[in-house]
Structure 1
């Protein structure tokens, strides 16, 4: 397909989608595969949509190497919704543990407290959320129903480079990961994970779809107050169609899964190719920032996110000028989150090498003209 000349979108979410996916969705908007219907018009129980759903589920299982004893659920409510839905399904009236590494794990901890005794096993708040607490220092409750982490903090730019091994810490409890902003950018060690959830709008598709991947033995323990549409057992038994699912979101996400599976980077394919590309792009931008005295990234190198790279101008009075210049050059959505300020470049899977190089070229230009 012909590639459009579009601006480079560094938004943290809703975020850029691969142009090929957008073009396919546009071409099929009025008529999906000769059915005479657009996907948004289809019955979710009709043969056409069931085919879309089954391929999306199959491709995601292949893409993330999801074991057979895990269920993939296509739900609604986003990551914030899952902050309530997870404790409603998994807490069983017991306490739940959290490791706080940024704004999203803080929100998760607070929301879970409405449905369970939510406690902090470790926190990086004292560092300004620029690091991840050493797992050896975590105070894990051995009787907790689960331990929750945000494996990539979108706002603060902190990422777990390796998921914690709770059994090695002497805790035989499930690990829950909110992987919304880096799902499908790297492999997941399922031997360490009981449940993973992700809003689709950062790396998988449009807002409105939420992916939940949950080990089967954790299903079937919902609290009595859990709404039926959010009960994992009911959702699983009905193949994500207990209520009308986000059909358009599932369709577009399915196109993204297929796109990722077809990516190549040298001899690498699929997720391995995407991960190699992400490492290269993030390293390129971090290396530039580290070498500059005009910009700074405050996250400790061992905890730096590949997906979300916050940075600050040493003279923040020039932020508005910087953003205006970036927009004029087709570099969009670089403003940092309002809670931390500064700038943020999100390098999700759809970001091209050309986009990263264009950003670095502008950073060099702005620094030079500001000298």
Structure 2
């Protein structure tokens, strides 16, 4: 089928586009190649897709209202996966306007395109950050998430609300996926694994926030992509048992769903670092720091809903996932 994937030069979007092309789908890929991090890495990701005749590479910012309207008019995608966004919790403290432009205005343009051109299903990136100040573990899609700790988290919660509006008004099936700390080859340079690997190999100190005591539900990229594809192929359905008297935050009487997509096995940051040290054969010099503004101490995904609805089952261990990343990193950077 013809699928629009935004963020195809990004980490998750690139892996997803490659898998969809390999199974025979036609992909319209959109990315603006912004300089939030190394543009050359983004270009090298795109080069992995260039040999597929079924891939169309479009250079466009999703916040460009007219450009996105013309894109939908020209290609009329059957399904859409929106992974283009301004990412990063800490960066949202430095440049909040970037999050409104991309994550709010851009997402609005996606919704309008889907509405007017008959898209069968919209899948979009939400984030575990929406759980904010919640402390009940594991995080469940049936929890209320009204206390975000950063503008990034607030923008992702806003996406879920905006999608619900379009599902309700126009019967557009929409599914939000709350990603939990994705890692793996071709990852983002601003993420912990990338930063740690680079610093350790260079003999530099690594910043370890919350003194290494917080836990993350680290999820390997292949498991994430498998979950996204299974979700994409399973259009969001209305919950016939949904009641406004006892409203379920994770479902709706409209064709709208949100799911956690994680490993369901949180790991303490220090354990994560020790695994990396073992694979690199070097011990990191650590700069222990307090928890940063906007961060949360722990994330832990309850993925039961995704398992039940689409058969999602993550199976990549931290040891295997980090080993694959280190192998890719050494090859890519020749170190």
Q: TM (normalized to structure 1)?
A: 0.24
Larger radius of gyration: 1
Q: TM (normalized to structure 2)?
A: 0.26
Highest relative contact order (Cα 8 Å, sep 6+), 1 or 2? 1
